[in-house]
């Protein structure tokens, strides 16, 4: 099978084509003929060596997100059959090779039947970011109707799914973006609920939008230095949940609101073989919401074949894209 692999960490020139044997299906796993994958920051951070400790074994096949068709089913995976069209985030990290390949071996607990109303490329955009949004909003915040949430990075991969998921849960949603163009891409939100963080300070939008009270919840998909902004946006007794806490930070703004800080690390089931069924179940719920028209992936207009994964990573790392960058298998 054709693959794109890396054998050392570094720039986007690390990707090389390599023919490898098709993996044999094993108990609990299915073999997927890969149709599409998408780029997540973890993929280019692994490639660059920033997250070298969680890289798959060399030659490493990167990318967790996959959409494709099952061609073989191992023992103990009775929920699937040959021909099923599935999606999931099932590898590209230590212990599980990834999706930049003609075929991918995937733990059946990590995948689900893909939403019927969208293409393979659209489905491949969803798994990692949808699971992250679900773990933040449902598992960590237990978000309820009429609660008010601020979601940072509403046009980003995690952010645009989190906004739609929060709306589908009945919450009142505000989000931050960097430009008018990105604001227009979020057609599901009234303009007054979209905040341009380059034009308005956190103090100003907290006053304008909440009358100075602050938001019950903040989902910080940017994290790190942006966490202080999230603390400042929080109401008394509110909760911030973040995907990125790699920062040394003064917690006094959080403490002065008697606030809580929670984190999400969606890779734990993959890395530690823990609670994997939960990811499959989340993807079933997400598929229902997609087919009900409640969640739609925002796909960046330029797509790439697997042979051009280097260009896809360059674009993702440039910070100039929005939504999700997808890659399609060559015919
Ligand atoms: N812990 C986990 O389980 C987990 C899971 C998924 C992702 N992550 C991490 O979470 C982060 C986001 O992932 P992603 O897939 O959403 O990345 P992404 O698609 O690159 O989106 C990031 C978004 O952040 C926005 N942004 C940048 N600076 C901002 C600021 N100061 N205020 C508000 N928005 C800002 C950008 O929008 P503009 O262009 O409009 O600024 C961009 O759309 C990454 O660091 C990733 O590694 C962690």
Per-residue pLDDT tens digits for 276-304:
999 999 999 999 999 999 999 999 999 99
Mean pLDDT calculated for residue range 154-174: 98
Ligand 1 pocket, 115 CB below 6 A? no
Q: Are residues 176 and 242 in the same domain?
A: yes
Q: Are residues 236 and 169 in the same domain?
A: yes
**Given 263, 280, 309, which residue is the final one in a domain?**
263
Average model confidence (pLDDT) for the chain? 97
Please determine, for residue 331, whether its predicted confidence score (pLDDT) is greater than 70.
no
Please determine, for residue 101, whether its predicted confidence score (pLDDT) is greater than 80.
yes
* Euclidean distance between CA atoms 12 and 268, whole angstroms: 26
Q: Are residues 119 and 133 in the same domain?
A: no
Q: Please give the distance of CA 307 from its chain centroid, rounded to a whole number.
A: 22
Q: Would you state the pLDDT for residue 36? A: 98
Ligand 1 pocket, 156 CB below 6 A? yes
Ligand 1 pocket, 222 CB below 6 A? yes
Q: Is residue 291 part of a domain?
A: no
* Euclidean distance between CA atoms 331 and 245, whole angstroms: 40
Ligand 1 pocket, 226 CB below 6 A? yes
**Phi then psi dihedrals of residue 161, to 5 deg:** -75, -40
Q: Is residue 236 part of a domain?
A: yes
Ligand 1 pocket, 129 CB below 6 A? yes
Q: Is residue 201 part of a domain?
A: yes
Contact 212, 257 (CB under 8 A): no
CATH number at residue 121: 3.90.180.10
Q: Is residue 271 part of a domain?
A: no
Contact 74, 98 (CB under 8 A): no
Domain that holds residue 8: 2-126+297-328
**Is the whole model's pTM more than 0.85, yes or no?**
yes
Q: How many domains are contained in the chain?
A: 2
Q: Is residue 289 part of a domain?
A: no
The protein residue with its alpha carbon nearest to ligand 1, atom 14, reads 157
Q: Is residue 120 part of a domain?
A: yes
Q: Would you state the pLDDT for residue 330? A: 79
């Amino acid at each position: 099978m054709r693959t794109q692999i890396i054998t050392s960490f570094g720039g986007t020139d690390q990707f090389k084509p390599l023919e490898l044997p098709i993996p044999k299906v094993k108990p609990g796993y299915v073999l997927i003929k890969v149709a599409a994958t998408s780029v997540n920051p973890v993929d280019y951070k692994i490639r660059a060596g920033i997250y070298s400790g969680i890289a798959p074994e060399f030659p490493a096949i990167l990318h967790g997100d996959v959409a494709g068709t099952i061609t073989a089913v191992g023992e103990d995976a009775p929920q699937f059959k040959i021909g099923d069209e599935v999606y999931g985030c099932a590898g590209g990290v230590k212990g599980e090779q990834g999706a930049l390949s003609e075929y991918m071996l995937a733990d059946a607990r990590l995948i689900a039947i893909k939403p019927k109303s969208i293409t393979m490329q659209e489905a491949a955009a969803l798994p990692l970011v949808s699971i992250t949004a679900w773990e933040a909003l449902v598992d960590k915040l237990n978000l309820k109707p009429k609660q008010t949430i601020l979601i940072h990075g509403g046009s980003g991969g995690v952010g645009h799914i989190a906004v739609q998921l929060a709306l589908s849960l009945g919450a009142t949603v505000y989000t931050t973006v960097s430009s008018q163009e990105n604001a227009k891409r979020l057609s599901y939100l009234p303009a007054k609920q979209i905040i341009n963080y380059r034009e308005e300070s956190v103090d100003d939008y907290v006053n304008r939008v909440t009358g100075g009270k602050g938001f019950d919840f903040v989902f910080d998909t940017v994290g790190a230095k942006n966490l202080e902004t999230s603390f400042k946006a929080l109401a008394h007794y509110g909760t911030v949940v973040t995907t990125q806490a790699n920062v040394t930070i003064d917690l006094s703004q959080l403490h002065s609101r008697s606030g809580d800080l929670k984190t999400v690390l969606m890779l734990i089931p993959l890395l530690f073989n823990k609670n994997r069924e939960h990811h499959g179940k989340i993807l079933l719920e997400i598929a229902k919401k997609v087919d009900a028209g409640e969640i739609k992936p925002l796909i960046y207009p330029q797509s790439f074949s697997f042979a051009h994964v280097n260009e896809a990573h360059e674009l993702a790392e440039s910070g100039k894209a929005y939504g999700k960058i997808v890659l399609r298998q060559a015919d």
